[in-house]
Amino acid sequence: MSTTTDLIEVSERRSAHNYHPLPVVIHEAHGAWVTDVEGKRYLDCLAGYSSLNFGHGNPKIIEAAQQQLKNLTLTSRAFYHDQFATFCAGLGDLTGKDMILPMNTGAEAVETAIKVARKWGYEVKGVQPEQANIIVMEDNFHGRTTTIVSFSTDPDARDNFGPYTPGFRIVKYGSVEAIREAVDANTVAVLFEPIQGEAGVLVPPDGYLTQVRELCTAEGILMIADEIQSGLGRTGKTFACDHEGVVPDMYVLGKALGGGVVPVSAIAANEDVLGVIKPGQHGSTFGGNPLACAVGNAVIEILNTGEYQSRAAELGEVLHARLRELIGHGVITVRGRGLWAGVDIDPSLASGREVSKELMARGVLAKDTHGSTIRLAPPIVISEKDLLWAVDQLADTIASFR
Ligand SMILES: *Cc1c(COP(=O)(O)O)cnc(C)c1O
């Protein structure tokens, strides 16, 4: 069992079809480049949905992981371990928050945020028992648990997974008026993505984050920013909320926090919010484990230098300038911020899937989101030359369909 075809055939036959991968079988990767089982190289323009912001096999992260593997990998939270304090204090400082609560996957961190917001609502805000509501956005993506898909507006994500968890109000993304209309005395939080990733890299109108902040403060509601995909350098700042100088009450983090090595997620908030959680009320066997914390500590050190944030900002300018030139030449619009772009291809030319496959044939790995949108989010270590080469491949791909 070694050829690409065989490996794909068994993968398809023996695993649930919950994904529709491109037909490439990757064997190894360094920096922004991956190599398949046949030795063919591709430029990674997906970066594990922004989990690999710091590159495949980042030496600092791998070194930290290898050292920790030799020392200690798991204690459970029944005991303290020597990587935990550094991780909590470091992530707290990075977010400017008093406390963090570590979990593993992004969806778990979102669940944690929901639980904390509800508990805060009942115990601090004084919401009537069982009446808490959370305002969420159309076209959101926050993960795959039963509660989270309950407030998805994507039929694929939601249909036939009911009965659904109540307590969510869905409003139009980008409209602060829509939030205002949905707020009542039992509203405990607004949960949103500062840039909607899975929806196609949708950037809200300027001033939106500021207005959401003001509304939440005025109404006594928690502003919860799901920065799992937008955070940790991708947009050219540590957090996408930084672009408007806005500080949410709670950050939800994941993906790149695990350095592309292990799943690491967390929420960060001040003590007046996160202090509502007492022993036995929430937890995770693997959350905050020594390996996760050691990797997370390396990631936090990397982010504290600010190098990746500036690099994403600079390369982002280059990327967006070049992509804008394609508008009118088979590209309808380009959205995004920093080293992150959603490119809408004219749907009469090709589907997103067809474009992704042709890009792959040309040595670029990218994935479509909805319909004819291609998402570009390479590891931030990518060179400017490689980045421009990737856009050339996209231009040639589109030209080949015209
Ligand atoms: C990926 C993602 C999640 C879910 O993370 P998982 O680790 O896949 O559970 C949640 N929110 C956003 C914004 C994401 O991009």
Whole-angstrom distance, CA of residue 388 vs CA of residue 117: 43
Q: What are 115-148's pLDDT values in tens digits?
A: 999 999 999 999 999 999 999 999 999 999 999 9
> Which numbered atom of ligand 1 lies nearest the CA of 107?
9
Catalytic residue ranges: 141, 226, 255
Query: Is 60 exceeded by the pLDDT of residue 1?
Result: no
Whole-angstrom distance, CA of residue 96 vs CA of residue 353: 41
On the question of a common fold for 4-57+307-401 and 72-304, the answer reads no
Whole-angstrom distance, CA of residue 155 vs CA of residue 138: 12
Whole-angstrom distance, CA of residue 374 vs CA of residue 289: 35
Task: Tell me the three state secondary structure of residue 46.
Answer: coil
Q: Find out whether 167 and 134 touch, Cβ atoms under 8 Å.
A: yes
pLDDT value of position 333: 97
Q: Is 229 in the pocket of ligand 1 (CB under 6 A)?
A: yes
Q: Is the pTM of this model over 0.85?
A: yes
Q: What are 318-352's pLDDT values in tens digits?
A: 999 999 999 999 999 999 999 999 999 999 999 99
> Which numbered atom of ligand 1 lies nearest the CA of 196?
13
Confidence of residue 371 (pLDDT cuts 50, 70, 90): confident
Confidence of residue 221 (pLDDT cuts 50, 70, 90): very high
Residues 6+ apart with CB under 8 A from 242: none
Q: What are 62-100's pLDDT values in tens digits?
A: 999 999 999 999 999 999 999 999 999 999 999 999 999
CA–CA distances in Å: residue 316 to residues 29, 50, 51, 386, 395: 23, 14, 17, 13, 17
| Residue whose CA lies nearest to ligand 1 atom number 5 | 106
Averaged pLDDT score across all residues of the chain: 97
> Which numbered atom of ligand 1 lies nearest the CA of 230?
13
Percent of the residues in the chain that have a pLDDT greater than 70, as a whole number: 100
Which of 252, 255, 369 to probe ligand 1 with, by most ligand atoms within 8 A of CB?
Answer: 255
Q: Is 47 in the pocket of ligand 1 (CB under 6 A)?
A: no
Burial of 254 (0-12, 13-18, 19+ CB in 10 A): buried
Q: What is the CATH number of domain 4-57+307-401?
A: 3.90.1150.10
Q: What are 179-217's pLDDT values in tens digits?
A: 999 999 999 999 999 999 999 999 999 999 999 999 999
Query: Is 90 exceeded by the pLDDT of residue 402?
Result: no
Backbone angles phi, psi at 75, to 5 degrees: -125, -20
- C-beta neighbour count of 360 within 10 angstroms: 20
CA 253 – ligand 1 centroid, Å: 9
Class of domain 72-304: alpha beta
In this prediction, residues 261-288 reach a mean pLDDT of 98
CA 402 – ligand 1 centroid, Å: 35
Beta strand pairing call for 367-368 and 373-376: antiparallel
Domain positions in the chain are: 4-57+307-401, 72-304
